Amino acid sequence: PDTPAKTQRLSADTAGIARAAELLRAGRQVAFPTETVYGLGADATQDDAVAGIYAAKDRPQFNPLIVHLPDVDAARALVEWPEAAGRVAAAHWPGPISLVLPLRAGARVSKLVTAGLDTLAVRVPAHPVARALLRATGRPVAAPSANRSGRISPTRADHVLHTLDGRIAAVLEGGASEVGLESTILGLAGAPMLLRPGAVSADALAATLGGPVAARAEDAAISAPGQTASHYAPDAGLRLEATAWRPGEARLGFGPVDCDLNLSKAGDLREAAANLFAHLHALDAGGPQTIAVSPIPETGLGAAINDRLARAAAPR
Ligand code: TXA
Ligand code: MG
């Protein structure tokens, strides 16, 4: 009965943000912009609200969710805070990195958020609309990417509506996500472990922490269940590392190549990351059987871009 017939588009002004906050406090699901991708938010303290995220996304199982907070103090109220967390937060928050830390005893967070784990992923986003919304809501907000399960992550309000229209109460419109890739996830419950590459690179984290950061072995026990095989999938198949185009393919270029859409003509990885999901959405809409993608260097942000491309190309 709570499922709205139509999803409200809210502009990101004072009234729109207040309305979105009111919906969140009432236990509804609201998509909102962050600098990484759009998130599908719900009040992390209410079981029903969080369950509504899984229902809207058709998430087959309860993967743990990232909790979004307006500032470091709000995060520290929910998780234990080792020195390393302080360093990373000081250097990179607000910003595109999530920290997995031991859940504080008695923290008021629904078990559906942690999927029963004794750790919690927390993030203080930088996007001004996200921050205003979190302040106005006054509750921790759980938010996965605002797309149906297994689909490409949204970097525009239109992408959100493409798969979630009618399934969520509202979307707060905040323009294009600047980073364009989901946050880096750093595990700090034990030795620092990179659980998902993102805009904050492993090298930057090693510099912040003054020591190396291990990457999760591909076959290790899944501590970030959303990180498995097929994810971020367009309808089309993906052919990676394409150095020559084949007839009939949609052509996603990088660098000075002739193609349908270019991630970055200048070969700029930041620009490529920001364009990645939007270009995949756009090419996929044409209904091609295959999207061929130019090679992307593995340096800097390229590691995170290639991570998402590999998942999108995985058999499903
Ligand atoms: O940029 C982002 O991180 C976006 C925006 C909305 O903030 N959110 C996002 O959420 O990408 P989602 O659900 O698509 O990805 C969350 C990832 C999943 O891979 C999940 O398994 C992992 O975080 N995760 C969450 N809690 C965890 C925990 N306690 N331990 C390990 N991994 C965790
Ligand atoms: Mg996702």
Same domain, 186 and 49: yes
Among the candidates 208, 227, 246, a domain finishes at 227
Evaluate whether residue 2 is within a structural domain.
Answer: no
**Contact assessment for residue 98 and residue 35, using Cβ atoms and an 8 Å cutoff:** no
Instruction: State how many domains the chain has.
Output: 2
Q: What is the rounded end-to-end Cα distance, in angstroms, of the chain?
A: 33
* Amino acid letter, 308: R
pLDDT score of 1: 47
Q: Are residues 198 and 262 in the same domain?
A: no
- Residues linked to residue 43 through DSSP beta bridges, in sequence order: 141
| Any ligand 1 atom below 6 A from CB of 63 | yes
Find the domain containing 192 and state its range. Answer: 8-227
The CATH number for 305's domain is 3.40.50.11030
Predicted TM-score (pTM) of this structure:
0.91
- Domain membership of residue 247 (yes or no) is yes
pLDDT in the model for residue 116: 84
CB 195 near ligand 1, within 6 Å: yes
Question: How confident is the model over 102-151, as pLDDT tens digits?
Answer: 999 999 999 999 988 999 999 999 999 999 999 999 999 999 999 998 88
Same domain, residue pair 242 and 193: no
Residues 6+ apart with CB under 8 A from 130: 32, 33, 34, 35, 39, 68, 174
How many angstroms separate the alpha carbon of residue 65 from the centre of ligand 1?
A: 5
Residues of the chain with pLDDT under 70: 1-5, 217-232
Identify whether residues 194 and 251 lie together within a single domain: no
Q: CA 69, CA 85: separation in Å to the nearest integer? A: 15
The four Cα atoms 137, 141, 147, 149 give a dihedral, to 10 degrees, of -150
Q: Does one domain contain both 75 and 192?
A: yes
- The residue among 227, 253, 280 that closes a domain is 227
Quote the pLDDT of residue 219.
Answer: 44
User: Do 35 and 129 fall within a single domain?
Assistant: yes
Find the 48 Cα to ligand 1 centroid distance in Å. Answer: 19
Q: Are 192 and 290 members of one domain?
A: no
